[in-house]
């Protein structure tokens, strides 16, 4: 299954009773496995958890640790980028040149790299003392 189809399908499972803004994400790990996630809201945290974080959690649950490519889809006039927290999570598990594809449900797409998505990323190297 391709990433667009997988993200489109999982988006329908999103739990978004407050925002009504459903988001789906699909990623392929470096092992070739496909992992999906959708946003989940709740009354205490109406902005909820993000689709990208869900896909990354699903990847980690299987033991995979590296993202080879990722796609996000939402019903929006323009492709929606991941939130700041998800950008950091993506950067944690993907190399800077990994392609991130942002899509709308009506067919618009925008591609960028992880480095473009999050310039100046915080890494473990920032905590190292030499």
User: 121: which 2 tokens?
Assistant: 């990323």
Helix (H, G, I), strand (E, B) or coil at 106: coil
CB-based contacts of 117: which residues, under 8 Å, 6+ apart? 81, 82, 87, 90, 91, 100
Q: Which of 9, 52, 69, 92 is catalytic?
A: 52
CB-based contacts of 51: which residues, under 8 Å, 6+ apart? 7, 10, 11, 14, 23, 24, 25, 37, 38, 39, 72
Please say if 12 is a catalytic residue: no
The catalytic residues are 52
């Amino acid at each position: 299954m391709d990433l667009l189809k997988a993200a489109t399908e999982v988006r329908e499972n999103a739990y978004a009773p407050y925002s009504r803004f459903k988001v789906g994400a699909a990623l392929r790990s470096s092992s070739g496995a496909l992992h999906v996630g959708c946003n989940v809201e709740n009354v205490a945290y109406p902005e909820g958890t993000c689709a990208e974080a869900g896909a990354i959690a699903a990847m980690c649950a299987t033991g995979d640790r590296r993202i080879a490519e990722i796609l996000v889809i939402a019903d929006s006039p323009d492709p929606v980028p991941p939130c700041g927290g998800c950008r950091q999570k993506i950067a944690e598990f993907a190399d800077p040149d990994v392609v991130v594809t942002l899509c709308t449900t009506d067919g618009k797409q925008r591609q960028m790299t992880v480095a473009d998505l999050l310039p100046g990323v915080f890494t473990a190297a920032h905590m190292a003392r030499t």
